[in-house]
């Protein structure tokens, strides 16, 4: 080998780039906060613990809000609402999307036509409008907001799964399984599905951030979390009312920013690993 310079010392694996590490660190930190905050939170998020509308100080690092609650504690507790909801919505949306999409792709015919029309129509709406409409119909509250978001999001995965299944159906090993007499369900589950997962995972990881933003947006409008729940969107809405007391909105805003950024970094990195074509 005609080499011209000395080899560099062994490097870390390709995927462990800076964004990935930062993203993982951020998301990891928030998960830890979510799991442990009740042990070390400076104050109770719902109790009135200080004078109202105090700017950041040594006792209240992010000051107090309009009712005298500690902003920092409320900000940290907020993750206990946003994160599980996002996870739940993504999980259910993927599940429904998978069932309907894979079913449509595999079975074809009427099921396919109906499901795809449903997908097309649902995707014709700007997501937030549809979520607003659904939540308004069902009534405010995080639970209904979650249902609304599942309704808005499942078509994305349905379409994805269907495309994957259709692509896989033509493969030889599927034909082999079918001709050897395997039942359709078995073919679907053991031969096709294991190969379909990577775009789903990539999409889901990128969607986590979007869902967190959507939850916050709905809460901001007043359709998601109801006071006194310390949900970030809700807090920013309160902060908007007391505009000159900037710290009330600052905390939750930065929280959203960091966690969504973390998810975006991770999602980007996952995509680079699992789908090298998109580099």
Partner 1 sequence: MARYIVRRLVAMPLLLLGVVTIAFLLSHFTQADPLTSIVGERQMNNQAVVEAARKRWGLDRSLPEQYLVYVGNLLTGDLGISFRTKQPVAYDLKLRLPATLELVVAAMLIGTAAGVALGVVAARFHDRPSDHAARLFALVGASTPVFWSGLILLYVFSVQLGWLPGPGRIDARGAAPPFVTGMYTLDSLIAGDFATFRSALSHLVLPACVLGWTMIGIVSRMVRASMLDVLGQEYVLTARAKGASELRVLLNHALRNALIPALTIIGFSFAYLITGAILTETIFAWPGVGSYAVAAARELDHPAIIGVTIVGGAAFLLANLLTDIAYALVDPRVRVGGARGS
Partner 2 sequence: MSRPPLLVVRDLAVTFPGTGGLRLQAVRGIDLDLNDGEALGVVGESGSGKSVSMLGLLGLLPEQAKVTGSVLFRGQELLGMAPRALQAIRGARIGMIFQDPLTALNPVLRVGEQIVEAIRIHHPGVSRKAAMARAVDLLDLVSIPQPRERVRQYPHEFSGGMRQRVMIAMAVANEPELLIADEPTTALDVTVQAQILELLQDLRSRLGIGLVLITHDLGVVAGTADTVAVMYAGRIVEHGAVDALFEAPRHPYTRGLLAALPTLEVADRPLVGIEGRPPSLRERPSGCAFHPRCAFAQARCRVEMPELRHVGSTWSACHFAETLPPGLDVGTPSPAHAADGGR
Contact by Cβ (8 Å): 27, 259? yes
Which residues, in sequence order, are CB contacts of 153 under 8 Å at separation 6+? 89, 90, 93, 97, 127, 207, 211
Does the footprint of partner 1 cover residue 16 (CB under 8 A)? no
Contact by Cβ (8 Å): 27, 266? yes
Q: How far apart are CA 76 and CA 31, in angstroms?
A: 11
Does the footprint of partner 1 cover residue 234 (CB under 8 A)? no
The conformation of residue 67, written as its DSSP 8-state character, comes to T
Nearest distance, CB of residue 271 and partner 2, angstroms: 23
Which of the listed partners (partner 1, partner 2, none) does 185 bind, with a CB threshold of 5 to 8 Å by partner kind?
none
Which of the listed partners (partner 1, partner 2, none) does 6 bind, with a CB threshold of 5 to 8 Å by partner kind?
partner 2
Q: How far apart are CA 18 and CA 52, in angstroms?
A: 41
Q: Which of 32, 35, 113, 257 binds partner 1 (CB under 8 A)?
A: 257
Burial category of 40 from C-beta neighbours within 10 Å (exposed 0-12, middle 13-18, buried 19 and up): exposed
Q: 10 Å Cβ neighbour count for 245?
A: 20
Token digits for 68?
């005298």
Does the footprint of partner 1 cover residue 240 (CB under 8 A)? yes
Nearest distance, CB of residue 1 and partner 2, angstroms: 7
Which of the listed partners (partner 2, partner 1, none) does 28 bind, with a CB threshold of 5 to 8 Å by partner kind?
none
Does the footprint of partner 1 cover residue 78 (CB under 8 A)? no
Q: Segment 118-177, which members bind partner 1 (CB under 8 A)?
A: 120-122, 124-130, 132-139
Contact by Cβ (8 Å): 149, 130? no
Does the footprint of partner 1 cover residue 216 (CB under 8 A)? yes
Does the footprint of partner 1 cover residue 246 (CB under 8 A)? yes
Q: How far apart are CA 108 and CA 114, in angstroms?
A: 10
Q: Which of 12, 40, 243, 276 binds partner 1 (CB under 8 A)?
A: 243
Q: How far apart are CA 216 and CA 207, in angstroms?
A: 14
Q: 10 Å Cβ neighbour count for 155?
A: 23
The structure tokens 């009427």 sit at 110
Q: Which of 204, 260, 266, 269 binds partner 1 (CB under 8 A)?
A: 260
Does the footprint of partner 1 cover residue 227 (CB under 8 A)? no
- In the complex, the residues that contact partner 2 under the rule CB under 8 A are 1-8, 11
Which of the listed partners (partner 1, partner 2, none) does 8 bind, with a CB threshold of 5 to 8 Å by partner kind?
partner 2
Instruction: Give the interface segment with partner 1, choosing from 34-42, 45-53, 55-63, 251-259 (CB under 8 A).
Output: 251-259
Residues at the interface with partner 1 (CB under 8 A) = 117, 120-122, 124-130, 132-139, 209, 213, 216-217, 220-223, 233, 236, 239-240, 243-244, 246, 249-250, 252-253, 256-257, 260-261, 264-265, 278
């Amino acid at each position: 080998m005609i080499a011209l310079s000395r080899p560099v010392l062994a490097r870390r694996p390709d995927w462990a780039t800076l964004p990935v590490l930062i993203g993982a660190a951020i998301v990891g930190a928030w998960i830890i906060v979510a799991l442990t905050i009740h042990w070390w939170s400076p104050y109770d998020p719902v109790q009135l613990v200080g004078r109202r509308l105090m700017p950041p100080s040594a006792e209240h690092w992010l000051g107090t809000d309009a009712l005298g609650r500690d902003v920092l504690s409320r900000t940290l507790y907020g993750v206990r609402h946003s994160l599980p909801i996002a996870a739940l919505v993504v999980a259910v949306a993927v599940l429904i999307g998978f069932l309907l999409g894979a079913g449509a792709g595999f079975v074809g015919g009427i099921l396919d036509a109906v499901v795809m029309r449903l997908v097309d129509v649902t995707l014709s709406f700007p997501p937030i409008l549809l979520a607003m409409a659904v939540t308004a119909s069902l009534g405010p509250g995080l639970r209904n907001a979650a249902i609304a978001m599942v309704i808005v999001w499942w078509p994305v995965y349905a379409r994805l799964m269907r495309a994957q299944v259709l692509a896989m159906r033509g493969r030889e090993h599927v034909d082999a399984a079918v001709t050897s007499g395997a039942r359709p369900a078995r073919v679907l589950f053991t031969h096709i599905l294991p190969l379909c997962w990577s775009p789903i995972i990539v999409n889901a990881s990128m969607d986590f951030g979007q869902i967190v933003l959507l939850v916050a947006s709905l809460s901001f409008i007043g359709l998601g979390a109801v006071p006194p729940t310390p949900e970030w969107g809700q807090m920013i809405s309160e902060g908007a009312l007391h505009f000159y007391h900037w710290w009330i909105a600052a905390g939750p805003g930065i929280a959203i920013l960091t966690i969504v950024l973390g998810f975006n970094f991770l999602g980007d990195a996952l995509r680079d690993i699992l789908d090298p074509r998109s580099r």
